[in-house]
Structure formats: C-alpha cells, structure tokens
Structure 1
Amino acid sequence: MKFVAVLYPGPTERHVDHSGLELLGSTEGALGLAKMLEAEGHELVVLSDRDRAREHLVDADAFITTPFWPTYLSADDLRGARRLRLVLTAGVGSDHVDTDTAVELGITVAEVTGSNVVSVAEHAVMQLLTLVRNYIPAYQQVVDGRWDIADIAAGSHDIEDKTVGIIGMGQIGQRIALRLKGFDVKVLYNTKHRRSTTQEAVFGARFKHLDDLVAQSDAIVLSCPLTAETKGLFDEQRLRSMRPGSWLVNIARGQIVDTDALVDVLESGHLGGYAGDVWYPQPAPADHPWRTMPGHAMTPHVSGTTLEAQQRYAAGIQDSVRRFLDGEPIQEDYVVAQPS
C-alpha cells in the first residue's frame, strides 16, 4: 500500500531539548511511521510541498496531513484519488477535507481526537494573559532598547475580576475554563448543547446566549469548530458589539473571524487586542493583513504541536494505520466521517 504524509518541514535551526521527546510532527520525524511501514513492504512518501502531494494522491491508499500544515482536499482532489480509502489528520480538526465527498466515495476521514487539547488550552490562556497584560509591546521595548513604563502600563490590566466568555465548551473549552478558575475571573460560555448543572459547577462557568455573552465579556475565547454556522460568526457587526477595549482570542479556526473586518476594528481602536493561533489560509501568506494589524499577538498555529502533543497524535496515527492495514475499524472516537 502507498501512504502519503504531508507534514511541516523540519526546523531551520538547531534546537537543544533535554526532555528526550522526539520531534515527530515534521517531515524528518514522519510521525514515527517509517520503520513500521517500510518493514512490511509498504511505500511511505513524506513531504512538505502540498502541490507535489497532489501528484502522489492519485495512487495513494491513505493520506495523512495536519491542522498546522494542512493540505486542503477538495471534491475534485478526492475524485482523482482512485485508490484512496483513508484520510487521517495528525491532530484535531479536519475542516480542510471535503467530508461529504469523501463519504460519497467510500473514504473514511479520521483525526486523533483529544491528542492536543491540553496544549491548545494552555496556549489559549497564555495568549489571553499576553493581551491583558500588554506583553507584546513590553517585549518589543526590550528588543528596541527602550524603557517607557508608562507606555506599557497605560494598556496593562489585571485579569482578576474580569469576565471571560468562552464560545465552544468541548474538550478544549472545558480545559480553558478549568485553568481560568485560579485567576478569580467570572466565566461565561456558549455552546451548541448546554452542559449540565453539575458540569457547569465543575467548570465554574455559566451558560449565556451568544449576544449576551458578547455584550457582557471583557475577553472572549473562541474554541468552537468551524461549521456552516460558525464560519464568519465574528463579522464586523459582532466585533463592534464587543465591549470597547475588550480582547479576543481565537484558537479555533481563522474563518470564524472575518479577516478584513478584524483589521478595521483593531485599527479603529474599538478592541483592546486580538490573539490567534489560527489563520486562513494556512500557512498564511507573507502579506496576510493579520501579520501587520495593530494590537495583535498572533502565532503560526503552533498551539497543538508541543513535543508532548506530538507524541500523542503520532501514537494515534500509528494506531489508526495499524488498524487500517489489519482491516480493522479505526478507533470510533477518531472517526469524523465514514461510509455507511
């Protein structure tokens, strides 16, 4: 069988890490698949060039990509892959795959559910604190050789006693809420299916309808999946309905926030800042307007690919590949879409 894995390139600089954990999510690590597949006579093609990957997709039996360096598989891409039976995402989030067409063609789409939820939740809290404490301008002063305390203090706040709204209370949203409890903030949440009273007590969060959450929150964290309902959810109208000076963190998907509207709202000074780990498209082009908009604390979708997360999602990919080779079903909670 032929397996094609499209992963982000290996590091351009030498890094020293004493944890003993391997860099598995890049092309050089290959998710730990090389020895297993090659020992059994299967072909593994590992590359970072997504255009070249489509050449190999034509005769691939399984295709592996990641949310951090995604290959967008359209209906035409899938229809041209005559042998393809499995698409795996090394991580969480398979919105880069046309799942309806995949099911129609008998292709299973799966991802490693839960593999990086801890990593993403920690990143969300970090980005929230980065905005609230005005960290990026303070760091930039150090780099630039400045020492203007007032300039930073004028936009720096305590997070204690603030109201934080979380949109999306899945595994990541729940962990964000739990991590915020120690900061003595008031947590509101909105999600498609309201949690039980017991769960709300554990998370320390109260359910609110979306418009009420937006109006009452000093900061909002987006941790909901990208769907037809959430695409463009934070358009200009909703962005401007947020409290003046409030902060927005997006560790969900870039398309949930309107690209140009966000730039306009930040340039007008209505929001206190925006931190995101997700973009559209990904990788973001060099001229993407979010790179240069004011008041941002962006990262290049690294939240879910810590060394620890890589061990988890690589193990999930290895398990799924093993099951595929043995003719066994993929772990049920990994399956995003499959033929009936």
Structure 2
Amino acid sequence: MNAPSHHSEQATGILYLAIGNTSLYREVETYLPAGTRLITLESGGEAEILAKIADCHIVVAGTIKLSRAMIQAAPALQLVVHQGVGYHDTLDVAALDERGIPIAITPDGTPTTVSEHAIMLMLTACRHTAFADKELRDGRYHVNALRLKSRTLSGSVVGIIGMGRIGKATAARLRGWGVTCLYTDPVPLSPDDEILLNARRVDLDTLLSASDIVSLHVPLTDQTRAMIDAPRLARMKAGSILVNTSRGPVVDESALIDALRIGHLGAAGLDVFEREPFSEGNPLAELPNTVLTPHIAAATRDTFKHKMSGVFNNIARHLEGLPLNNRVL
C-alpha cells in the first residue's frame, strides 16, 4: 500500500521503514502532520526501498535497517526518527552523521511494554508453560511431570544486565514478586534508586554466577555483541534461566543451544534472535525448554499509539523549527 493522506507532490514525504498491513498503515496515517504524506512499503525489498526513499524527506525507522546505500539514495533526507530506542543496529549512524542528519528516538511506552514481556518470559520459562501448552494441545496431560522441573519466581535471584530505561522498568515491576535483584551497568544507579528498586550493583561475572534468572537489557554495540558467550553461559548457575528482550546477537546462539541441550541452563525465554526473521529449522524451536516470541516485546496496540504520538510530535517539531525531543545525533 502507498496511499498518503496528503497527495500533493510538494508535501513532505515520510517513509515508514517497516512492513505492515493496510490497517497498520491507515493507523499511522492518522498521526500525519499537515503538509506531509506517508510513503509505505509493499515487499520491503532493497530495490523498492531505494526507489521510494529517493522521494522522502523524513524516515521513520522501524524493523528494516536504514543502510548507507539507502541514505545515499535519499538526497532530500532531513531527519530520521526511530520508532523505538534500539537505533545502534538499525541505522547506519556514521552515514547519517556524515550528512549531518539528526536522529531522534522514541522511548514512549517501550519500558512498560518490554519489561512486562520480560517478566512474562521469566514466568513462562520458570513454569515451562510453552511446553505444557503444546503437549496439552497434542493430547498429553502432564499433571505431575513438571513438578520437579518448574520453579517459582518468588524467592529467586534475578540479575539484570543493563539498567537503562527498560532495565529499571523491569526491576520496578519485580518489586512485588519477592525476588532479590542484582544488576550490572557501566553507570551505577543513584543510592536512592538502588533502594527504591531493591537492586544491588555487582560485576558481570558475579551476576551470572549468583542469579537464578538473567535478563538482558542492553543495546547491540561492538562491546555487547556476543557478550553472553560459551564461557559466560558456563558461569551461570546450573538450571538457571536466560531471558533476552534486547537484541539477538548479544548472545552466542550456538553456545546457548548447547547449554540448553545439555541441561546446564534450565530454560531460555527469547524475543530476539541472532538472525531475524527466525528461520525454519532453527534448533531453538526443537528444544522443549525454550519460550520463543517473534520480536514483539514492544508490540502492543497501546504502545504503538504512544510511539506514533511521540514519533509524529517530533516530526512536527522538526517541521516547525523546534528542538527535537530525545535527540541522539
């Protein structure tokens, strides 16, 4: 679909760099400022993007990476607004910087939604509910089989790697669950926030060896790529659980599969993967001790509305010559 709300060729072209259906595109169009038109994708192939981006002034970055080639093909590009916060691996920041094109992110709603999803994955992994659900649908009623495998979240030590917006939101939502919260981050929380969140800062190795559940909340950078590798997985407690709602390549997926297969890890709850989309035949899908979701931790209708409001409010500010909110470049 490519049905802009404003049909004038002189209107500011806004490319939505994600694949959606007609209903989603129509929802996005309701947020368009006056004098703008929405440019949408049908296949999301490189040739289509290169052709359509040539006519755009603003990119709303979503699930497709904005590459150097795309940026070079957009001579009129003025602004990139990311609909989320994880811009490090979804934008060619260096190419945008060379052109002097600003980047703004949109944290609106993300911490709440992603932290809820992280806790859902913790609970589902603890109780092996994905396995139990599949087995029940296939006619096998495991009323007692999971009693010695399932565990209770209450009383667990939860280690949070990355105490930014989403890490802090996760810690806040864990306060009522009766857990002990550890965290590691280059920047410590204030003493007041540590008390408020009942969280204690430790180094990464200590966190891995002491936690019953490890939850990842870091951006994908050169420093975090494959930070959870085979040696660090081996440091984790036997039977512990890994939850990842950040970025797939933060974890060495092959090493994770090995750790799950041999039973060193009790389970994993994963919303992100080393290669996306998730490919048919990925061994993670065959393991009974995994809970898998297709990168939807931030994907609720409530959060989408918050995000679109934030995205297009920033675009309106840009068009009016006002400073951007949440500018990162």
TM-score with structure 2 setting the length: 0.90
| 1:31 positional shift | 5.5
| Residues 282/108 of structure 1: CA separation in 2 closer, same or farther (3 Å cut) | farther
Asked if 2 retains the 8 angstrom alpha-carbon contact of 1:267 and 1:294, the reply is no
| 2:31 paired residue among 10, 33, 53 | 33
- Look up the equivalent residue of 1:58 and give its one-letter code: A
| 1:187 paired residue among 178, 181, 185 | 181
SS in 2 for 1:139: helix
| 1:317 paired residue among 303, 311, 319 | 311
Asked if 1:61 is matched to 2:53, the reply is no
| 1:161-181 deviation per Cα after TM superposition (whole angstroms, max 9, x unaligned) | 211100111111112112112
Mapping for residues 1-340 of structure 1, pairs under 5 Å? 1-10=12-21, 26-30=24-28, 32-34=30-32, 36-37=33-34, 40=35, 42-51=36-45, 52-66=48-62, 70-95=63-88, 96-331=90-325, 334-337=326-329
Asked if 2 retains the 8 angstrom alpha-carbon contact of 1:168 and 1:190, the reply is yes
| 1:191-248 deviation per Cα after TM superposition (whole angstroms, max 9, x unaligned) | 1101122111000011110000001111100011222111110011111211111000
| Residues 290/188 of structure 1: CA separation in 2 closer, same or farther (3 Å cut) | same
| Residues 193/79 of structure 1: CA separation in 2 closer, same or farther (3 Å cut) | same
| 1:294 positional shift | 4.1
Distance 1:55 1:280 in 2: 29
| Residues 29/288 of structure 1: CA separation in 2 closer, same or farther (3 Å cut) | farther
Asked if 2 retains the 8 angstrom alpha-carbon contact of 1:31 and 1:318, the reply is no
SS in 1 for 2:158: strand
Distance 1:112 1:184 in 2: 32
Asked if 1 retains the 8 angstrom alpha-carbon contact of 2:19 and 2:44, the reply is no
Query: What value does the CA root-mean-square deviation take over the aligned residues?
Result: 1.8
Q: 261-270 vs 126-135, which deviates more?
A: 261-270
Asked if 2 retains the 8 angstrom alpha-carbon contact of 1:4 and 1:53, the reply is no
Percentage of identical aligned residues: 30
| 1:149 positional shift | 2.1
Gaps of 5+ in 2: 1-11
| 1:115 positional shift | 2.8
| 1:63 positional shift | 1.1
Distance 2:29 2:240 in 1: 40
| 1:307 positional shift | 1.4
SS in 2 for 1:73: coil
| Residues 141/293 of structure 1: CA separation in 2 closer, same or farther (3 Å cut) | closer
| 1:27 positional shift | 2.8
| 1:288 positional shift | 3.9
Distance 1:48 1:65 in 2: 16
Match of 2:5 in 1: none
Distance 1:57 1:279 in 2: 28
Distance 1:312 1:225 in 2: 21
- Look up the equivalent residue of 2:173 and give its one-letter code: R
| Residues 314/238 of structure 1: CA separation in 2 closer, same or farther (3 Å cut) | same
| 1:145-170 deviation per Cα after TM superposition (whole angstroms, max 9, x unaligned) | 22122322231111222111001111
Asked if 2 retains the 8 angstrom alpha-carbon contact of 1:9 and 1:28, the reply is no
TM-score with structure 1 setting the length: 0.87
